[in-house]
Amino acid sequence: MTDLETRAAPTRAGALRRAAPALAGYVAVRALGLLTLFLWSAARDKSAYTLLTARWDALWYVRVAELGYGYEVRLANGDVHSNLAFFPLLPWLERLVAAVSPLSYADGGFLVSVVSSLAAAWGIFAVADHVCGRRAGVCAVLLWAVLPVGIVQSMAYTESLFTALAAWSLYAVLTGRWVTAGTLALFAGLTRPVGLAVVAAVWVAAIASFARNGRAAGADAPDTQPGSGAPAGPRAVTRRVLGMILAPLGAVGYVLWVGHHTGKGPLGYLDVQAGWRNGFDGGWAFARFVADKFTSFPAALAGVGLIVGVASVVWLYVTGVRQRQPLPLLVYTGVVTALALCASSYFGSKPRLLLPAFPLLLPLALALAEVRMRRSAAVLGAIAAASAVYGAFWLNGSGPP
């Protein structure tokens, strides 16, 4: 792996054929998870479809699609939960689906999630294949599918939509398609606050590319455009700058609009998040949450599990650095991971907040790709079954807040 790959992207038809095994495996894993959820829910006299489309954040997105912004809930302790905390792309798409079909807003959210999950799987494969090779790409997709909280990929949430936009934006960066990368980053920024991670990846990669070009020019070497091998003339530089300009427009635009809407200025969105008791404290609140687990038993076992989980995430990231993952992937993963682990609230949400950090799986995908196919299939099959059972149990219980 190198700092920034220069291998050209395949044609669309060729790319789909190359990704077919990964997509087929992904569909199989998700089908297993949904079937298990429907059977488990039926045994408990619950609606699996309701669990997927009409709980927690899904209800807030539907309310935005139906009524627009301005709805809020005032709690007895004085907290104010405003729907301004939820970025607009998913509600816009839900509204679009409802406008052109007989489906409801909730149905639209589920449809968007299903389609986006497939797009995300393809995007993850494209990135992993480009960086690590085809077999590792298939393994990366399957590892993402069998994550314990993988059922969220099929919920009317934004995880799948955001991951799809992020993965394809990163792929566009790796193949030198700067305008595409910036446009997808713009839409990612309209999906979740962590869209800033995609913006950071585009900007850092572009700046690094300018720096390399400057060094090459100083050494009288030809200036080249990543992904093409062709000289990076004025048009190529213009496209790179345009990509940088486009990338932050979604996230910055929405945050500024919220500030104007609330009358609290550019930082008004932070006040909205504060009403949900959400913020960034460097992980202090999460550390106290973990420490509190050790005050009793068997809660201490959960504390040990949390420490092992965080240590595993850090280890995977460090391994990615040592394996010289491309700079855009390291920047993106670092920002997503930091925002997920260092948020000051909603500790139960952290596993699903890490779902978009798919480059963390590349070291495992590389290791799995070196194992005999029969053995790797057996390992992934066993994990998929366990993940399906866990997802059904989790969603029928407390589920993702």
Q: Which two tokens stand for residue 393?
A: 């149990």
Residue 241's alpha-carbon distances to 201, 222, 349, in angstroms, are 14, 19, 36
DSSP at 82: E
Residue 3 has pLDDT above 60, yes or no: no
Residue 234 has pLDDT above 90, yes or no: no
Give the pLDDT confidence of 371-385 residue by residue, as tens digits: 988 898 999 999 999
CB atoms within 10 A of CB 381: 15
pLDDT at 231: 47
CA neighbor of 275 nearest in space, from 61, 55, 75: 75
CA neighbor of 381 nearest in space, from 139, 195, 174: 139
Range in 231-235, 274-278, 325-329, 389-393 with the lowest mean pLDDT: 231-235
pLDDT at 6: 45
Residue 220 has pLDDT above 60, yes or no: no
pLDDT at 233: 73
CA distance 330 to 153: 23
Q: Categorize the per-residue pLDDT at 216 as very low, low, confident or very high, splitting at 50, 70 and 90.
A: low
Q: Which residues contact 148 (CB under 8 A, 6 or more apart)?
A: 351, 386, 387, 390, 391, 394
CA distance 177 to 55: 38
pLDDT at 21: 95
Higher pLDDT, 278 or 98: 98
Q: Which residues contact 374 (CB under 8 A, 6 or more apart)?
A: none
Task: List the beta bridge partners of residue 58.
Answer: none
Please give the full DSSP string across 158-176, using - where no structure is assigned.
SHHHHHHHHHHHHHHHHTT
Q: What is the mean pLDDT of the chain?
A: 90
Residue 237 near residue 246, CB atoms below 8 Å: no
Amino acid at 58: A
Q: Which two tokens stand for residue 73?
A: 């809930």
CA distance 375 to 151: 25
CA neighbor of 273 nearest in space, from 192, 394, 162: 192
CA distance 295 to 291: 8
Residue 126 has pLDDT above 70, yes or no: yes
Q: What percentage of the chain carries pLDDT values higher than 90? A: 69
Q: What percentage of the chain carries pLDDT values higher than 70? A: 92
Task: List the beta bridge partners of residue 82.
Answer: 72
Residue 235 has pLDDT above 80, yes or no: yes
Give the global pTM: 0.92
Q: Which residues contact 35 (CB under 8 A, 6 or more apart)?
A: 388
CA distance 153 to 159: 6
Give the pLDDT confidence of 127-175 residue by residue, as tens digits: 999 999 999 999 999 999 999 999 999 999 999 999 999 999 999 999 9
Give whichever of 109-123, 234-248, 268-282, 302-316 has the largest mean pLDDT. Answer: 109-123
Q: Categorize the per-residue pLDDT at 9 as very low, low, confident or very high, splitting at 50, 70 and 90.
A: low
What would the mean pLDDT of 66-78 be, rounded to a whole number? 89
Amino acid at 350: K
CA distance 1 to 3: 7
Residue 214 has pLDDT above 80, yes or no: no
pLDDT at 175: 95
CA distance 174 to 202: 10
Amino acid at 256: L
What would the mean pLDDT of 269-280 be, rounded to a whole number? 87
pLDDT at 5: 45
Higher pLDDT, 210 or 360: 360
Helix axes 178-189, 249-262, angle to 10 degrees: 30
What would the mean pLDDT of 108-117 be, rounded to a whole number? 97
* Torsion sign (Cα): 50, 53, 59, 62: negative
Q: Is 225 helix (H, G, I), strand (E, B) or coil?
A: coil
